[in-house]
Amino acid sequence: MVEWLQSMGQPIEEHQRLNGEINLEKVYKDLKKAYEKTTETEVCLGDLTLEGPQLKNQGKNFLKLDDRAYEIIASYLDIPVPYMSRLNINLKNANVSYWFDYLKEKEASFVHEDEMLVDIKVPRVELIDVIKLVLESMPSTELFNVERGANGTTMDILSKDKNDSSMDSYRGGVRVSVTSTRLIAPVIYPLLVAEGSCAIFGAANAFPALNIMKMTYADILNLTSGRIEDAYSSIKGLLGGIETLSQDLYDNPERMIKLLCKEHGVAERLKKYALNKFSDSGLSELDAESMSTLFGLMGHVQEIKWNSAEKSHKVAGHILLTHTTEERCPKCQNLMDD
């Protein structure tokens, strides 16, 4: 029943043609090479001053500031990046100077390549270390999608192993999100991508969140490696679950769409989009495969923010994981109390 939804997305082959097939091992090697070109300089924030697009350390020219450098500094100082990006250079410098003075006793490690700022080191799990763990756990991969934000990076990594495919209709993989601004555990969970439409089913609730409290960095990486392996090994189970989705019918799809959006905090704009798509279909009922595919495709809506796209992917994954176990009232379809 999912054919009416195919036009919302694009086949994986078309996605690869437009975006190119990205080799994760090459990404790792390029990152490693870039790290090797950088220099770390320990500075005291109170010694830093700004003059136009120039950052000075103890009165001497230190780094040139471009838009990316201001984003890095804003993230480090907890200044909202969208706010900072709207300011002219004088207001940017005034904001940064205020916080440098407020934190004047604090020391920081500025990572730069020649005069260009690359990073400001904070305690965190390093993206390059997580990519290395993925390569060790998943023998044959393709980097399907990358989302880079001010606070970190999310990667959708698909397996190229034919044993991780189902009926040539779905590809299995792992989503990995690594935060760059503070020390928190990576978010790692399995996902499926529909071959014909690139609908994404993010099984975010397949495993509990990782707890890295009071762990050494080595222990954090060991825990992360185990989660990657668990997520990878769960792909076959998810593919088996896909085959049962078409057996589950929603006789009031509009009500169900509204409930799922409310329960998972899906944006109002996407809720209206889903309702309109269903209304245009002329159908009176939907099976669980169509419902989950609908949410899995809403991440492709134009100009949608990544947070909203990810929520819709998670709803698709939630349906996949719970459609046979979730208890709802047969009349109103609300969740039953435990």
- Rounded mean pLDDT of 111-126? 94
Task: Report the mean per-residue pLDDT for the chain.
Answer: 91
Distance CA 245, CA 216 (A): 42
DSSP string, 51-113: ETTEEEETTEEEEE--HHHHHHHHHHTT--HHHHHHS-HHHHHHHHHHHHHHTTT-EEEEEEE
Report residue 163's pLDDT band, with 50, 70 and 90 as the boundaries: low
Residues 67-78: tens digit of each pLDDT: 999 999 999 999
∠202-206-207 over CA atoms, to 5°? Answer: 125
pLDDT of 123 higher than 90 = yes
Residues 165-200: tens digit of each pLDDT: 554 689 999 999 999 989 999 999 999 999 989 999
Write down the pLDDT at residue 309.
Answer: 94
Report residue 121's pLDDT band, with 50, 70 and 90 as the boundaries: very high
pTM as predicted: 0.88
- Rounded mean pLDDT of 46-74? 95
Q: Which of 194, 304, 204 is nearest to 242 (CA)?
A: 194
∠126-184-39 over CA atoms, to 5°? Answer: 30
Write down the pLDDT at residue 334.
Answer: 87
pLDDT of 303 higher than 90 = no
Residues 62-106: tens digit of each pLDDT: 999 999 999 999 999 999 999 999 999 999 999 999 999 999 999
In percent, the amount of the chain with pLDDT more than 90 equals 73
Write down the pLDDT at residue 206.
Answer: 95
pLDDT of 9 higher than 90 = no
- Residue 166: which residues within 8 A CB-CB, separation 6 or more? 172, 239, 240, 242, 243
- Rounded mean pLDDT of 141-170? 83
Taking the CB of residue 240, how many other CB atoms lie within 10 A of it?
10
pLDDT of 337 higher than 80 = no
Q: Taking the CA of residue 117 as centre, how many other CA atoms within 13 Å lie in the half-sphere pointing to its CB?
A: 25
Q: Which of 2-11, 120-129, 179-188, 242-251 has the lowest mean pLDDT?
A: 2-11
- Rounded mean pLDDT of 266-289? 92
Helices (H) and strands (E) in the chain, counts: 12, 14
Q: Which of 37-41, 96-100, 241-245, 266-270 has the lowest mean pLDDT?
A: 241-245
Between helix 127-137 and helix 24-36 the angle, nearest 10°, is 150
pLDDT of 49 higher than 70 = yes
Write down the pLDDT at residue 168.
Answer: 66
Write down the pLDDT at residue 69.
Answer: 96
